[in-house]
Structure 1
Amino acid sequence: MVPQPLAKSSESEPDAESRAVGKFLRRMLPILVLMLLVNQMDRTNVGFVQDELRADVGVSATAYGLGAGLFFIGYALFEVPSNMLMERFGARVWLTRIMITWGLVILAMCLIHNVTTFYILRFVLGVAEAGFFPGVLLYFTQWLPDSSRGRASAIFLGGSATAYIVTGPITGALLEMHGVAGIAGWRWMFALEGTFSILVGIVAGFFLVSRISEARWLTDEEKTALSAAVARDQEARSRAPKVSRFRLLIHPQVALLTAVFFAMALTGYAITFWLPSLVAEIGGLSPFQIGLLSAIPWICAVIAMYSMSHFTDRAPDRRPYLAVCLVLSAVGAFLATLGSPWFGLVAITLAAVGGKCAATLFWPMAQAGLDLKIAAAGLAVVNSLGNLGGFVSPTLFGYLKDTTGSTHGGLYALAVASVLAALGVGFMRRPSGPAAPAGEPAASEPAVATGEAR
């Protein structure tokens, strides 16, 4: 009797849907992560040329802070229209358009010649970048079933964390080109980083695929299975009741979450835009050395962030951990006003660690704490309004530095805001179900609305 070959078990061979998801993660995520890394570098690189802009263009600390913050006004105004246009044109056209456009704006920033052009280009940069981050998350909903989006979102957000680490050394190295061909180093920095953004955007146009049906690297069976899984999730979400944005603004939990996230954004963006100038107070450092030292707080923050996520996985109540992280951020901001610049760098590192860990804890808690019928729209409101902290904090820092000659007043304000946010955490709703791993969505649709908690 001839033995028959054993049939492959369903457990040993992934089904068509799993194979399709795996192919998407391998083919699409690397370019999306690179785009996000460049995105973060281009919106924050201005923090490394504050002194140069003051000396060459006459941009005061107040003007610098206002210009840095104007980015977020343009971003907030055009975020929703940009997402609507992406649904019409598809990710391949719209995401690459966004990236090429912001690259052109960064390239144009090498031509800044007065405060007005600085203001205009920072605002236009926000308009150009508007919709990129939520657009990618929307792209995930068009390609991935709910059960796979948490992993994709976590990998994608890793690009943001990496950007904080590499921006300093890369930007510092480009600033060392000062005097080459008689051109200032900050102009070289904007020109080269803008050009690189344009090139990455062009390359992305050849990799991104807008719709499942257009993917040549999927078999017909994989296309059918993946499309069916995504359609099931979209149908379930379409049955959710619609809630007006106005009603959400006065919803107690949404308002509380917005206030807490606003305080977190104050600290996060203040550190982002003012860290290089704080490091420069050490004295005797080259631009590249300032860039290297500016990466230290973010390296520590990323390590702490991932350690915290493992430590708090499945914790029944993350509120105490979030409150402790916010207090740590407040302590770091306060200590930065004491001692030498080297001691200030250590203190700012504590503030960055507290802020990044707080962001890791905040979004899963927010997702799990809101009623499902308002979760998606509610988190969009929290993200949109909370991110305005990115306008307030650099503007406030600049004004206080010009009027008092020091950034201590701004650091005191950050400490107070973080303490108030920690107190507010006690009023956040405790999730009723099991917690999701930190940094991953606790529900399906809210993942789309998860904000840029950087």
Structure 2
Amino acid sequence: MVNPPAPDPDPAASSELVERAVTKFLRRVMPILVLMLVVNQMDRTNVGFVQDDLKADIGIGSAAYGLGAGLFFIGYALLEVPSNMLMERFGARVWLTRIMISWGAVTLAMCFMSGATSFYVLRFLLGIAEAGFFPGVMYYLTTWLPDSTRGRASALFLGGSATAYIVTGPISGALLEMHGLGGFAGWRWMFALEGAISITVGIVAAFFLVSRIQDARWLTGEEKAALGAAVDRDREARSGEPQVSRLRLVVHPQVALLTGVFFAMALTGYAITFWLPSLVDDIGGLSSFQIGLLTAVPWICAVIAMYTMSRYTDRLPDRRPYLAIVLVLSAIGTFLATLGSPWFGLAAVTLAAVGSKCAANLFWPLAQSTLDLRVTAAGLAVVNSLGNLGGFVSPTLFGYLEETTGSTNGGLYALSAASLLATVGVYFLRRGSGQGGAEAAAPVPARTVSG
């Protein structure tokens, strides 16, 4: 007797299974990813709170500080693409936790710095240790979530970045108040304890991360099948184009445009990050802890704005107009920061921070939907690693300007111009796939990675 063909799966039932599986992922895995990002951002940016201490204790001036802060991004750029390829091989559970434990060890070692040379070396090594973390997580989300839900997940994850800026100030400020305890300077306590926290969180993360859908014990068999099928459909929808080498990704028009836009965003984001404590310190009469509290204000506003905007834009088929708007806000904020008192400057930087963080929240889902999933790991790594070189240019330029001219206004004007140029570049990007539907524009020829 011939068995009748199996009926087609009920689309409504399949959609419900996918939603249940996504909800479980967001509840079980996203919290540890967000915590990892919070610690990641804290460890790469905490140096902004010890600029004056490093100058007083080990003779690191403004130019040397700016160069050291920026060297992080050179190591980051050099190793990010190889790191992301290794994560494809070893899986998120092994590779992301390895990255975190490594950067925690380097952060801890920074408490032993004795001069500019050791500062340069350790900042460079910190970039090498962290390389691949952010694009690794972005790629990890593409292997677990369909296009229609990644905007929500990206908003949660990127919220961790802004949250990190909120907590980094008060935490770092409080640790700096430990100055003299046990005969150690406050900045040494800060690096030692924050590095130890990173190592601990990295070890804990190994028990929460699951590399593949099929390995998730907290999903039922039906949920695994439905979620895997949804992810596969998105992959197939953007597949079938000719192979291209990773080197050609660098000069591919869409990858180059994404890199240029992100470079401008990084210029502004890291200028705010590394020089905001110095701006707040200019207000005068504040303790280290109070400075830390005030530096949290721009990022609190940025988190509120980012989540408010994501609830609206995540359902739209085209995020480009909104990305352009927030880039203009960023340009206005950095320009206004050149005017008025330190308090007015803080308000202007708050506007720039809102624009910068909202831009990041809109940018990464757009980048994910623009690039084929089969080159997402390499493509996102190229965009993030080369774009993040803005994190080298920005603090280096600001440090040089402050030491030679006594002002950073020239750098702020440059940031405004860069944001406006990025606004123009946004409209040359592909529209992307929006919610994972059929509205993707013409396919990008860089589809499969080889060589």
Q: TM-score range by the shorter chain?
A: 0.7 to 0.9
**For residue 57 of structure 1, what is the aligned residue in structure 2?**
58
The one-character-per-residue Cα deviations of 1:82-124 (angstroms, maximum 9, x if unpaired) are: 1222233222222111111111111111111111111111111
- Note if 1:303 corresponds to 2:304: yes
| Kept in 2: contact 1:364–1:442 (CA 8 A) | no
**For residue 116 of structure 2, what is the aligned residue in structure 1?**
115
Q: Secondary structure at the match of 1:243?
A: strand
Measured at CA, do residues 306 and 237 of structure 1 come closer, stay the same or move farther in structure 2, by a change above 3 Å?
same
**For residue 103 of structure 2, what is the aligned residue in structure 1?**
102
Amino acid paired to 1:428: F
The one-character-per-residue Cα deviations of 1:404-454 (angstroms, maximum 9, x if unpaired) are: 1222222222123223333444x52573x88559xxx989x99xx9xxxxx
**For residue 198 of structure 1, what is the aligned residue in structure 2?**
199
List runs of 5+ in structure 1 lacking aligned partners.
1-8, 450-454
Equivalent runs, 1:47-446 vs 2, <5 Å:
47-231=48-232, 233-234=234-235, 239-310=240-311, 312=313, 319-364=320-365, 380-425=381-426, 427-429=427-429, 431=431
Measured at CA, do residues 370 and 80 of structure 1 come closer, stay the same or move farther in structure 2, by a change above 3 Å?
closer
Amino acid paired to 1:346: A
Give the Å deviation of 1:170: 1.2
Amino acid paired to 1:358: A
Q: Secondary structure at the match of 2:105?
A: helix
**For residue 36 of structure 1, what is the aligned residue in structure 2?**
37
User: For residues 236 and 254 of structure 2, what CA distance do their matches in structure 1 show?
Assistant: 27
User: For residues 141 and 374 of structure 2, what CA distance do their matches in structure 1 show?
Assistant: 21
| Kept in 1: contact 2:174–2:289 (CA 8 A) | yes
Give the Å deviation of 1:172: 0.9
User: For residues 13 and 252 of structure 1, what CA distance do their matches in structure 2 show?
Assistant: 37
Which segment drifts farther, 394-403 or 249-258? 249-258
User: For residues 314 and 25 of structure 1, what CA distance do their matches in structure 2 show?
Assistant: 18
List runs of 5+ in structure 2 lacking aligned partners.
1-9
User: For residues 373 and 214 of structure 2, what CA distance do their matches in structure 1 show?
Assistant: 31
Paired residues in the alignment total: 433
Q: Secondary structure at the match of 2:339?
A: coil
Which segment drifts farther, 341-350 or 270-279? 341-350
The one-character-per-residue Cα deviations of 1:5-52 (angstroms, maximum 9, x if unpaired) are: xxxx99799865544433332221211111111111111111111111
User: For residues 227 and 355 of structure 1, what CA distance do their matches in structure 2 show?
Assistant: 34
User: For residues 143 and 435 of structure 2, what CA distance do their matches in structure 1 show?
Assistant: 23
| Kept in 2: contact 1:240–1:373 (CA 8 A) | no
Amino acid paired to 1:241: P
User: For residues 116 and 211 of structure 1, what CA distance do their matches in structure 2 show?
Assistant: 42
Measured at CA, do residues 357 and 217 of structure 1 come closer, stay the same or move farther in structure 2, by a change above 3 Å?
closer
Measured at CA, do residues 419 and 46 of structure 1 come closer, stay the same or move farther in structure 2, by a change above 3 Å?
same
The one-character-per-residue Cα deviations of 1:362-413 (angstroms, maximum 9, x if unpaired) are: 4455566779998886555433322211111011111111111222222222
**For residue 6 of structure 1, what is the aligned residue in structure 2?**
none
Measured at CA, do residues 289 and 23 of structure 1 come closer, stay the same or move farther in structure 2, by a change above 3 Å?
same
Give the Å deviation of 1:360: 3.4
| Kept in 2: contact 1:69–1:394 (CA 8 A) | yes
User: For residues 374 and 226 of structure 1, what CA distance do their matches in structure 2 show?
Assistant: 21
**For residue 4 of structure 1, what is the aligned residue in structure 2?**
none
Measured at CA, do residues 254 and 223 of structure 1 come closer, stay the same or move farther in structure 2, by a change above 3 Å?
closer
The one-character-per-residue Cα deviations of 1:122-158 (angstroms, maximum 9, x if unpaired) are: 1111111111122223333343444443433332222
Measured at CA, do residues 90 and 249 of structure 1 come closer, stay the same or move farther in structure 2, by a change above 3 Å?
closer
User: For residues 230 and 287 of structure 1, what CA distance do their matches in structure 2 show?
Assistant: 48
| Kept in 2: contact 1:334–1:411 (CA 8 A) | yes
Give the Å deviation of 1:276: 0.5
Q: Secondary structure at the match of 1:216?
A: coil
Q: Secondary structure at the match of 1:198?
A: helix
Measured at CA, do residues 43 and 375 of structure 1 come closer, stay the same or move farther in structure 2, by a change above 3 Å?
closer
Measured at CA, do residues 56 and 214 of structure 1 come closer, stay the same or move farther in structure 2, by a change above 3 Å?
same
Q: Percent identity at matched positions?
A: 76
Amino acid paired to 2:284: G
Q: Secondary structure at the match of 1:284?
A: coil
Amino acid paired to 2:103: W
| Kept in 2: contact 1:282–1:341 (CA 8 A) | yes
Give the Å deviation of 1:334: 2.3
User: For residues 373 and 178 of structure 2, what CA distance do their matches in structure 1 show?
Assistant: 53
Q: Secondary structure at the match of 1:207?
A: coil
User: For residues 206 and 318 of structure 2, what CA distance do their matches in structure 1 show?
Assistant: 43
| Kept in 2: contact 1:83–1:131 (CA 8 A) | yes
Give the Å deviation of 1:337: 2.0
User: For residues 393 and 342 of structure 1, what CA distance do their matches in structure 2 show?
Assistant: 22
Q: TM-score, normalised by structure 2?
A: 0.85
| Kept in 1: contact 2:66–2:400 (CA 8 A) | yes
User: For residues 434 and 24 of structure 2, what CA distance do their matches in structure 1 show?
Assistant: 29
User: For residues 317 and 17 of structure 2, what CA distance do their matches in structure 1 show?
Assistant: 35
User: For residues 215 and 321 of structure 2, what CA distance do their matches in structure 1 show?
Assistant: 47
Q: Secondary structure at the match of 2:114?
A: coil
User: For residues 316 and 237 of structure 1, what CA distance do their matches in structure 2 show?
Assistant: 16
Which segment drifts farther, 303-312 or 81-90? 303-312
Q: TM-score, normalised by structure 1?
A: 0.84
Measured at CA, do residues 306 and 108 of structure 1 come closer, stay the same or move farther in structure 2, by a change above 3 Å?
same
Q: CA RMSD in A?
A: 3.3
Amino acid paired to 1:71: F
| Kept in 1: contact 2:263–2:386 (CA 8 A) | yes
User: For residues 226 and 410 of structure 1, what CA distance do their matches in structure 2 show?
Assistant: 47
Q: Secondary structure at the match of 1:158?
A: helix
Q: Secondary structure at the match of 2:349?
A: helix
